[in-house]
Chain A
Amino acid sequence: MTNYVIKRLLLAVPVLFGVVILVFFMVRLTPGDPAVIMAGEQASEAEIELIRVQLKLDQPLHIQLGLFLENLIQGDLGRSTRSRAPVTSEIMTRFPNTLILMLTAMAIATLVGVTTGVISAVKQYSFFDAAAMFVALIGISMPVFWLGLLLMLYFSVNLGLLPAAGSGTWKHLILPSIALATVPTAIISRMTRSSVLEVLRQDYIRTARSKGLRENAVIIQHALKNAIIPVITVVGLQAGTLMGGAVLTESVFNWPGLGRLMVDSILARDYPVVQGAVLLLAVVFIFVNLLVDILYALFDPRIRYD
């Protein structure tokens, strides 16, 4: 297992390198010039040229790439063209916020999703099952943006119970994490339901029951444990979706996370920040994928990575 993890981590290096190169060229091939955006619509070419020189944007692309890689190897992601602050500090003030939001939403989604999924499967065709799956269908189809505004309108503006937007206290976390968790909760609960239903039809469940095990033990130890593999896959995939979905949630709730930083940076063609943020996201994706693979082996001893 240790060998496997080390191998996977080493394999991540060329992937990250590819990501870095790809992003480097993608941002530069997009029409728009950071110097022009910074200086505004009224700047003269002479002023803009000066900014280009200061940002080293006047250099040929391969020289810029060389400079970027040279600094990257030393752990220096450069400075934001917009704020002039080091990219690492720009990203690291935001990343923990996104992580908190994402983990909270993930926890809600997994807890609520798996629970309702299992109950729905066990009580198939019951009122709970129909209602839960109906709500889940709405949840999947709900635009996060709109849901966020509704939550804000009701709980903050009308009832005055929670702050409308912003960050700082645990109260600020409630509405955005609920909004962000809605879609993954729905997906996870539907996935859990179908997976558990399939397992419940297996012979070993009948065996477990005929052994006289309590129904709870049958469900949790025998059924859920076998049904959880596809659920883990979905949870892992959702982690990626959440990173993306966080952009909208962060905008609506004014949550100072990485998503908003990235959108702002892309609009301002702030190359260093876009590069740094994408690199960080790639690291997170690789890490989550690795974690999912390790979890497979934990839950299903048949899966080995030797």
Chain B
Amino acid sequence: MLKKWILVLSLVLVLGLLAGCDEPAPDVPDDADPDVPADVRDTLIVAQGTDVEDLDPHGIASTPAAIVTEHIFDTLVTHDDDFNIVPRLATDWEISDDGLEYIFELRDDVVFTDGTPFNAEVVKFNIERLLDPETQVLLRSYINMADTAEVIDEHTVKINLKYPHAPFLSRLTAASNAMVSPAAVEQYGEDLSRNPIGTGAYMLSDWVPGTELVLERNPDYWGPAPEISTIIFRPVPEDSTRLAMLEAGDVDVIVRVPPLEYDRLSGVDGLNVVMAPSTRAIYVGINVTVDPLDDVRVRQALNHAIDKEEIVEVILSGAGRPLDSPLLPEMFPYRQVGPYEFDPEKARELLAEAGYPDGFDLTFHHPEGRYLMDRRIAEAIQGYLGDVGVNVTLETMEWAAYLAFIRKPIEETETNIFLLGWGPWIFDGDQMLYPMFLSEQAPPAGSNYGFYENPLVDEYLIEGTSTTDPDERTAAYGSAQELIWEDAPWIFLHSEEQIVAMNDALGGVRILPIEQVLFHEAYWTR
């Protein structure tokens, strides 16, 4: 009896599977949107990949947090779409000839959402708070060249630097250097991270961590009033869940769309899928102190052995730009110095010249899930290097353990080559070149994880950061980019493109190359 039923059930199952093959793919609803009349639609729901951990701008280091704080707070200066520094809370500024004094004229019509007026005292308070070792500031390198701040009059403030630092204005555009209300700091102390009080276009109205964060339009905002009255940010870490929520109409905008979904999503009615450049450079760091990676010919060979175009086209579905300089075109002062052509033959020649005609063994450490398609890219590199005789062993590591691993000082390091990415929060090339290629920035001091050292590069980088003259800076950084490219302390891969998908009735969304998606000027067309 039982056997009979099992037979019947198996038959049903097999038939069901066969029938399933013929079934057309399920239809995607034409219009996932609920019927909301256009005139009441002034709310926007955004799904981010990561939860915001902290809303005290001075304590943030993550992009999702910066996206939210950029709506609540203002910085003294900001940049326009051509990456020029333009006024925000400061209307004008003057820099002393020695590059040590910055005098800012401030807006006189700005009030924090708790009623505190914005003035020179506030700027002084903020700079001092950012420099106070007691304050939990994660991005200290964006402010620690500042020394003191002086009130000149109600709306004029002077910031003194410890040493001349040309990118200082650029650093003041960073979301972590925004102005917070001194009264709120007084009132909330450490809980300012939950009670952000700024001067921005929006203010926090509700926040349930892990669930949603609601911003309401600031009625007293000094700038043009935004069209959207309520922005809701929802953390949705699962990529597939984010996509489903957008397609089901539960959210209006999603960030970090996986590249593989780009083509399919672009075909869905009612959605606008945008691929925008980012300044996040992805590279394979090379420990230049170990044999045979200490030979520049070997490092150049590794660069020639890998087809970066193909990685971008095939693995990233086009969501990337192969690097042709240590800097990206959006950064000041980019100079095109590459690319390294894909040429396995040349790679083999260079290896033979260096004394490795039969190749050698390397260990390649990489994280998984940190950068777009990181594991697949690592596997592709293993294949390319194998083709020129370099036998690569892959070691996948969890992010936290990986960071600890690559940060070890030279006496303890076990690295050969390792996959990393770096996305600065500003467009000044200093934030890319200085921490990554200056010899004294080698671990444990900084982020020169491959222990790269070239005294000439050091000289150019120090000149570039300390001279305020833009032409001199361009010349110094130009030479540095050429030398670094020639020395090949990295396998230069690509910069990531950011894919943002949104309801196609939404306009005015700004997507900055520093991976910020901003809604100050967003509006619904229907």
Contacts and interface: CB of A to CB of B under 8 A. Distances in A.
B399 interface: yes
Interface string A253-264: 110100011001
Contacts of A45: 443-446
Interface string B435-452: 100000101111100000
Contact of B250 (A36, A166, A268): A166
A40 B193 contact: no
Interface in B218-246: 234-238, 240-241, 244-245
Interface stretch (B119-127, B207-215, B335-343): B207-215
Nearest to A80: B53
A285 B220 CA distance: 51
Contact of B244 (A31, A32, A82, A164): A164
Given A166-B234, A252-B241, A42 B141 contact: yes
Contacts of A54: 134, 136
A79 interface: yes
Contacts of B444: 45
A39 interface: yes
A293 interface: no
Nearest to A266: B400
A60 B211 CA distance: 36
Contact of B238 (A30, A252, A264): A252
Contacts of B401: 30-32
A215 interface: no
Contact of A38 (B61, B237, B248): B61
B237 A260 contact: yes
Interface stretch (A111-119, A127-135, A198-206, A237-245): A127-135
A60 B241 CA distance: 42
Interface in B20-63: 26-29, 32, 51, 53-54, 56, 59, 61
Contacts of B234: 166, 254
A185 B330 CA distance: 56
Contacts of A253: 241
Contacts of B424: 42
A260 B407 CA distance: 28
Contacts of B446: 42, 44-45
Contacts of A12: none
A224 to B, nearest CB: 23
Interface in A100-157: 125, 127, 130-131, 134, 149, 152-154, 156-157
Given A38-B61, A84-B54, A152 B29 contact: no
Given A43-B141, A163-B250, A84 B193 contact: yes
Interface stretch (B1-9, B164-172, B313-321, B481-489): B1-9
B129 to A, nearest CB: 14
A18 interface: no
A152 B140 contact: no
A93 interface: yes
Contacts of B134: 54
B328 to A, nearest CB: 16
A164 B141 contact: no
B250 A251 contact: no
Interface string A30-68: 111100111111111111001100100000000000000
Contact of B54 (A42, A83, A134, A153): A83
A37 B2 contact: no
B248 A164 contact: yes
B400 A268 contact: yes
B138 A85 contact: no
Given A125-B1, A127-B5, A165-B244, A39 B400 contact: no
Nearest to A155: B248
B433 interface: no
B248 A84 contact: no
Interface residues of A, number: 58
A202 B26 CA distance: 52
B252 interface: no
B194 A44 contact: no
Given A130-B6, A165-B250, A90 B138 contact: no
A190 interface: no
Contacts of A149: 240, 244
Nearest to A162: B248
Contacts, number: 176
B403 interface: yes
Given A31-B404, A166-B250, A251 B6 contact: no
Interface in B112-146: 133-134, 136, 138-141
Contacts of B154: none
A54 B194 CA distance: 19
B422 interface: yes
A83 B140 contact: no
Contact of B208 (A134, A256, A264): A256
A36 B2 contact: no
Nearest to A127: B5
B211 A256 contact: yes
Contacts of B248: 156-157, 160, 163-164
Contacts of A32: 398-401, 403-404
Contact of B26 (A51, A131, A158, A260): A158
A167 interface: yes
Contacts of A154: 26
A38 B193 CA distance: 15
Nearest to B10: A134
A209 interface: no
Nearest to A37: B400
Given A47-B140, A127-B5, A254-B241, A37 B399 contact: yes
A182 to B, nearest CB: 18
Interface string A66-85: 00000000000001101111
B405 interface: yes
Contacts of A82: 53-54
B9 A130 contact: yes
B209 A130 contact: no
A138 to B, nearest CB: 9
A231 B60 CA distance: 50
B236 A85 contact: no
B53 A256 contact: no
B490 to A, nearest CB: 14
Contacts of A94: 210
Contacts of A44: 140-141, 435, 441, 445-447
Contacts of A167: 211
Contact of B422 (A41, A93, A252): A41
Contact of A51 (B136, B194, B403): B136
B460 to A, nearest CB: 20
Given A42-B141, A42-B435, A44-B141, A90 B5 contact: no
| Residue in B9, B194, B241 whose Cβ sees the most chain A Cβ within 10 Å | B241
13 contacts: A33-B403, A37-B399, A39-B61, A44-B445, A50-B140, A85-B191, A149-B244, A156-B250, A158-B27, A164-B244, A165-B238, A260-B210, A268-B400
For the complex of A and B, list the 9 residue pairs with the smallest distance between their C-beta atoms, beginning with the closest. Answer: A32-B400, A256-B210, A130-B5, A31-B401, A45-B444, A164-B248, A256-B211, A156-B248, A164-B244
Given A32-B398, A251-B238, 7 more contacts: A44-B446, A50-B140, A79-B190, A134-B9, A152-B244, A252-B238, A268-B400
